[in-house]
Amino acid sequence: MAAIEVNEVRKSFKVYFDKGRTMKEKILFQHRNRFEERKILDGISFSVEKGEAVGLVGHNGCGKSTLLKLLTRIIYPDSGTIKVEGRVSSLLELGAGFHPDMTGRENIYTNASIFGLTKKEIDARINEIIEFSELENFIDNPVRTYSSGMYTRLAFSVAINVDADVLLVDEILAVGDAAFQAKCLEKMLDIKAKGTTIAIVSHSLSQIEQICNRSIWIDGGKIRMDGSPNEVHTKYLEYMGQKRLAKSVTVEKKSGEPAKNSGSPENKNIGESGEISEKIAEITGVQLIGEDGNISGKYRSGERVTLKISYRANPEKLNGVLIGLLFFRNDKLTCYGTNTMRERIENIALKESGEILCEIDKLNLVRGSYWIDVAIRAKDMFAYDYVAKAVEFTVYSSVDEVGVVKLEHKWTFN
């Protein structure tokens, strides 16, 4: 059963150029209220099943946040229908409704009541809210004395402890310090495990990949792609990279000077879609080599393997580079992912051609079929080249284990 149903929703806003602000201006210049009508959403349709977690991605201004505001009924569509089943908790503007002269405890009661909780329900969970916010020593102080981090932590703690059926989140998971952010992520995963329907807007694709099992890419007010995060995000990053390079070439042509990392415009073929044929770095081959030198595609669980990536590049046009890889099971489950930037490997220098080796001491995957995606990226995550299913392989084992990872262990009976 669907928890969220969006059908042919359209939304536009009027943007005024010279609208009068004072009574005098409105009287004197009543015929000068020129405006432009901007279409933000143009026939959006999708449904989200109960218990499903969905990420909304797209460039700034594509309509993601507007869509969440429509789901919370802060604003209403020009046409189309939206149905949301159950109690809704929205993390759009953290602390909306907080009174600066009231204490943190008083604001918990006020804010939680806005989400639909009774005083009895708030009494039952106020200690949990305070403990999660880590503001026990400040909870009876006025919130005007809080730092911005303390303020958002309290607001976040209230919003995620209301037992909502549907949770709507807009770019607010980066609250507090690193430890608190990790705790927020764990809480989100716990909420998802309990069957709460979640819709998240975020520019952090890795964050969406950790929480969501589906991504919707919105572009120009329309849904451009809807599918698993690893498939959607790959296409989205490729599109944004092509858009960025196309813009660089446009700047280059206007100024007559080479744009940074753009190369010579004569060597690029930019079509109507913005796709650029020349690659600054390109993956030319990928092999998974077993400990005996075989590349048969069949490896023993726990075997030592080496991932060999062959490439060619234009070193003069590279400005920082990272190498990334993702392991997937054949049902598209993400098993493991990393890149050189996450591992603090700096100053990678690629030659005009060469090989990159990633040695894996033990291929600790359980029996099954897998594949690896490989990427060469810039430091801002623009993909110079991304190869999906670069290597497909099978892991065999004499033990019929379940799950993904093989944990080394031994049994002892006393």
* Per-domain boundaries in the chain: 2-228, 229-278, 279-407
Residue 293 CB neighbours (<10 A): 7
Q: Environment class of residue 344 by beta-carbon count within 10 Å: exposed (0-12), middle (13-18) or buried (19+)? A: exposed
Instruction: Residue 12: name the closest of 91, 83, 75 by CA.
Output: 75
What digits encode the pLDDT tens for the residues 191-245? 888 899 999 988 778 788 888 889 999 998 899 999 988 788 878 877 877 776 6
DSSP state of 405: B
- CATH homologous superfamily, domain 2-228: P-loop containing nucleotide triphosphate hydrolases (3.40.50.300)
Percent of the chain with pLDDT over 70: 84
Angle at 320 between CA 319 and CA 322, to 5 degrees: 140
Q: Write the single-letter amino acid at 368.
A: G
CB-based contacts of 284: which residues, under 8 Å, 6+ apart?
310, 311, 312, 353
Task: Tell me 131's DSSP state.
Answer: H
Q: Could you give the CA distance from residue 174 to residue 223 in angstroms, rounded to a whole number?
A: 26
Residue 317 has pLDDT above 90, yes or no: no
Question: What is the value of pTM for the model shown?
Answer: 0.67
Residue 308: pLDDT band by 50, 70, 90 thresholds? very high
CATH 3.40.640.10 is right for the domain spanning 279-407: no
The token duo for 120 is 């009895």
First to last CA, the chain: 51
